[in-house]
Amino acid sequence: MVRAPFYDKNGIKKGAWSSEEDERLRAYVERYGHWNWRELPKYAGLSRCGKSCRLRWMNYLRPDVKRGNYTAKEESLIIKLHEEHGNKWSLIAANLSGRTDNEIKNYWHTHLKKRTTHKTTTTTSQTEDQSCESSQCDQITSHCNGETEAESSNWDNNYVELSPPILESSQSPAETSPNCSESSGLINRTSDLSDTHYSSNQVEAFYEEYYTGSDFWTKPFLEDTSEINHDYPYPTCFGDGGTSSSYLSFYDDGMEYIFYQ
């Protein structure tokens, strides 16, 4: 279902990711963060471009990416937000915990677009004939109007599922923080709040603290280097946890090593 792997003229690998590549990228980003996507693949030992790494991480490897089927709530929210904002997938994704904009975009085109088209046509026909017999029509009506009045009201107006929004190409909280330079290399702070519901005020307060308030993002991303896996070289500017030998294993000419030294 994915493009077959191949190498372009510059020796950059493209196409489907292997499990080994996934593991390398995951291990590297989880340990060192994504301080610079363009440079990252070199240090992670990947023959990929930075853009590809970033996409793979954001869409697939991030631990807080929610996989699996969409709930009725999620579907109704996507439909609602799409009606309001159009193809602003990043905006829509920001309102769905654990979903990426790319995933939502795909889901829209493969599932929801048909439904809303169907809804439009059936709604039109309904005005002429006040009936809607198909279960799909019922489902759409449910999505757009809310499962129940109370449930819909709570969902749409007062609560959001709270975990960091995942945008396929979003800024990480670290990048968002005004206190944090991009090269400072912070790990992502994860949240296990996805199953909890909060009021709007709580959400605002949380994000205030989460993204800007605390000094979390200004702290060095790597405080414990005791368990560094030296299979994944990283710039010496991140501390002395890397070794020259492991680093040089990826740069036989040593020029980049000298540069970073």
Residues that bind DNA (CB under 7 A): 1-4, 14-17, 34, 36-39, 50-52, 54-56, 59-60, 87-91, 101-103, 105-107, 109-111, 167-172, 175, 181-182
50 or 126: whose CB is closer to DNA? 50
Q: Identify the residue whose tokens are 């060192």.
A: 32
Beta carbons of 256 and 39 less than 8 angstroms apart:
no
Compute the least distance from the CB of residue 209 to DNA, in Å: 20
65 or 193: whose CB is closer to DNA? 65
Compute the least distance from the CB of residue 27 to DNA, in Å: 17
93 or 228: whose CB is closer to DNA? 93
Compute the least distance from the CB of residue 12 to DNA, in Å: 8
Length of the chain as a residue count: 261
Phi, psi values for residue 18, rounded to 5°: -85, 165
Between helices 135-145 and 113-128, what is the axis angle to 10°? 100
As a whole number of angstroms, the distance between CA 40 and CA 33 comes to 9
Sign of CA dihedral 94, 95, 96, 102: negative
Compute the least distance from the CB of residue 219 to DNA, in Å: 18
Compute the least distance from the CB of residue 148 to DNA, in Å: 27
98 or 146: whose CB is closer to DNA? 98
As a whole number of angstroms, the distance between CA 25 and CA 32 comes to 10
16 or 237: whose CB is closer to DNA? 16
Phi, psi values for residue 2, rounded to 5°: -125, 165
Tokens of 177: 């923080």
Compute the least distance from the CB of residue 150 to DNA, in Å: 31
As a whole number of angstroms, the distance between CA 70 and CA 123 comes to 24
102 or 152: whose CB is closer to DNA? 102
